A and B are shown apart, each in its own frame.
Chain A
């Protein structure tokens, strides 16, 4: 019975399956997620992603907690992207002067830009590249369209390559405080420099909810970088970034990382973890259940007792304990889950099924030709049992996907791989729910929802086909 016309039967299963709309939906989602997984592995191979993801240097040019770029067009709000100047490149927003006199060289770089966005930038930072023998003096000044000048930074350079935090530097804060004190006679303790620099001059320009963006309207903002070098042969170049509020397809997190990476990388992790665990554990359950049913007697007794003992073991506590005490890595968790669910409820249901199959004539036939017990179990009982259990295997995939997410949520995720659960955990511990950082937490949540719904839709549809009794119910 199990092997007659198997090819045509398989096609029939697919034809039946796709008569269910839910199954088609599920199937499409699974295909899309699989494509995403392949894409993720090709574009960011594991070795690259684990290195890049935990490297703060790599992300320094991205804005902190930026919204997705499409959010601007969706809401009609004109949010600023990153504005980048690099004086090593040809750019008509950049003016460079160099004056040499005797032993001195004076470099002056003027960056000109328009700012017509509806929101304030998030930060201003600069990389200064200079060639010198004696430490030069550098001054960076910010000039607003209304003519106000605020000094952002001044000091001597010690290295050929310096990263300067401009908008949050103590010098900038002090200068902004001075400017506000001189204009309004009030002292601000901790000024939001990015806001005051770009706000219309009025009382309350220091607070995010009362400040208005000073749009350039034809007149432009300027940033002047002046370097005084004490030698003839010198060079000054600047890469200055005015960090925006939007970035990329999915925005960034609090460590400036592109949220697209964990989203696409979560796919292969979730798929491989869920599918392989579900298949391995179900096969083991089938095997143990069939052995229990076929051999009966002592083997049956012992297996059933172990299953009962397993029921009293608190699964998640032990798993968390293992992950926490020994080693938090996805491989350890994987093996522990298999061991911990080895004698789960599946053994009992497989045993019940195997007891029924045991009575079938083809088993009798196998016995007659002299097949060994193990051969009968593997070759015939499991083979006959598998089709009825496939829907269960598919429907149990979401459980394992969410198990990984749950462990990651508890802070026990894989230390190097970015996954959906880990993203939710990081978002949550950064207060994403309280601060409404929806772009951070919503995509992984939606991915988890859609993949689990896809598998369970497929599972239920298959269940109805394989177990026709359900269709009558």
Chain B
């Protein structure tokens, strides 16, 4: 028992040496996160701009536009074609300078990177938010709530269901329901979006009880309460298909995870002592498993903010996933970079915060037994 207690989280204060070590650790982690965000961001910029190829396309588009403008404008109608060509060349040069297209791509990509990292995401090339804004932030944050409504709800719901169900099964190992659930694990090999199609076929096409997709019915109900209910009705199928896809493997993983924890000697001892079930669960099984559970939950939630491109397009849901897809298909680089950088930051921050929590909870880091890994 004594030995096990030492591995449980201790909240005793820091000594000075411990604090220094802790501080160095935090700074190291911070730098690591920043580096990974930067690399991800730069990679995205390089791919999205096709290594500078997009510039050539943009310049020829500009040339076309300016030529059209000059040729059709009455202002320049009296000029000879040669003079017109000169004016076109001058105007093109000015526009290229104005847009900064005359600086070489690698320099501009670095400027772009700096802007992205400082979250100055700029304006979208083509896409416009529903409120009419071209600002990338406005466009992204307009879609984010819908994605959160769908996927964060699904993630949290799924997390709770899988955790509780898994815990229950781990305490009732070998029961009929346990054997059934373990036997059905293979159902999770089908992804959520695909269950989406199957459920649309069943509930929308065959039974006709739930909508095919979209956010609200057309026309949307006027009453705010009815509107909310309508949105919920549209969210049922996507949430359900995500839950269904994750349920089987999720429950199985949780069950095995808790089984490993409940085979520890201290749990057997606690059982033998006749401690109540609740106490065993909360103190001897859940508590030591908490770090892993927390990591899974937070990574799941962050991941859910990216939406799911395919699920959103199956259900025609106006979230971040379908926004990203639209941006990619329209080559709207600012939006692609914007969603990526926000996601990378959120993920990096979450991992950093988790690291900090663990380093406070885990005595090994304070004592410098193992650093990081």
Contacts and interface: CB of A to CB of B under 8 A. Distances in A.
Q: Say whether A associates with B.
A: yes
Interface of A: 22, 304-305, 308-309, 311-314, 316-318, 320-322, 324-326, 395, 398-399, 402, 405-406, 409-410, 424, 428, 433-434, 436, 438, 441-442, 445, 448-449, 452-453, 455-457, 459-460, 470, 473
Given A320-B325, A320-B328, A452 B309 contact: no
B36 A433 contact: no
B324 A473 contact: no
B314 interface: yes
A312 B345 CA distance: 9
Contacts of A456: 185-186, 188-189
Given A324-B329, A402-B191, A445-B197, 10 more contacts: A309-B40, A312-B36, A314-B340, A316-B309, A317-B340, A325-B48, A428-B197, A436-B205, A438-B201, A473-B259
Interface string B329-363: 10100001001100110011000000000000000
A312 B39 CA distance: 9
30 contacts: A304-B373, A308-B32, A309-B36, A312-B36, A314-B306, A316-B310, A317-B324, A317-B336, A317-B340, A318-B44, A318-B47, A325-B47, A325-B50, A409-B193, A409-B313, A433-B197, A433-B212, A434-B205, A438-B201, A438-B205, A441-B197, A441-B201, A445-B197, A448-B190, A452-B190, A453-B190, A456-B185, A456-B188, A460-B186, A473-B173
A326 B313 CA distance: 22
B93 interface: no
A312 B310 contact: no
Contacts of A395: 189
B331 to A, nearest CB: 7
Contacts of A405: 194
Contacts of B39: 309
A232 B183 CA distance: 80
B328 A321 contact: yes
Given A317-B340, A402-B194, A433 B309 contact: no
Given A309-B39, A473-B173, A399 B340 contact: no
A313 B325 CA distance: 16
Contact of A320 (B259, B309, B343): B309
A87 to B, nearest CB: 43
Contacts of A470: 256
A315 to B, nearest CB: 10
A308 B36 contact: yes
B198 interface: yes
B56 to A, nearest CB: 14
B201 A442 contact: yes
Contact of A309 (B35, B186, B309): B35
Contacts of A441: 197, 201
A64 B323 CA distance: 35
With a 10 A CB-CB cut-off, give which of A322, A395, A410, A436 has the most chain B CB atoms. Answer: A410
A177 B285 CA distance: 79
Q: Name B's interface SS.
A: helix
Contacts of B173: 473
B200 interface: yes
Interface in B157-205: 173, 183, 185-191, 193-194, 197-198, 200-201, 204-205
A398 B40 contact: no
A473 B256 contact: yes
A323 to B, nearest CB: 9
B43 interface: yes
Interface of B: 32, 35-37, 39-40, 43-44, 47-48, 50, 173, 183, 185-191, 193-194, 197-198, 200-201, 204-205, 212, 256, 259, 306, 309-310, 313-314, 324-325, 328-329, 331, 336, 339-340, 343-344, 347-348, 373
B310 A311 contact: no
A325 B330 CA distance: 10
Contact of A317 (B201, B212, B256, B328): B328
Sorted from nearest, which 4 A-B pairs have the closest CB atoms?
A: A456-B189, A456-B186, A309-B36, A398-B189
B197 to A, nearest CB: 6
Nearest to B35: A309
Contacts of A410: 309-310, 313, 325
A304 B200 CA distance: 42
B190 A398 contact: yes
Contacts of B191: 399, 402, 406
Contact of A406 (B32, B256, B310, B329): B310
Nearest to A451: B189
Nearest to B205: A433
A155 to B, nearest CB: 43
A312 B186 contact: no
With a 10 A CB-CB cut-off, give which of A405, A433, A459 has the most chain B CB atoms. Answer: A433
B50 A22 contact: no
A327 B207 CA distance: 40
B309 A317 contact: yes
Nearest to A442: B201
A325 B331 contact: yes
Contacts of A309: 35-36, 39-40
A393 to B, nearest CB: 13
Contact of A313 (B43, B48, B193, B194): B43
Nearest to B340: A314
A398 B190 CA distance: 7
B339 A317 contact: yes
Contacts of A442: 201
Contacts of B198: 445, 449
Contacts of B200: 433
Contacts of A448: 190, 194
Contact of A324 (B313, B328, B344, B373): B328
A399 B189 CA distance: 7
A426 to B, nearest CB: 13
Contacts of B212: 433-434
B36 to A, nearest CB: 4
A441 B194 CA distance: 12
B193 A433 contact: no
Contacts of B340: 314, 317
Contacts of A318: 43-44, 47
Given A317-B340, A433-B205, A445-B198, A457 B186 contact: yes
A22 B186 contact: yes
Contacts of A409: 193, 310, 313-314
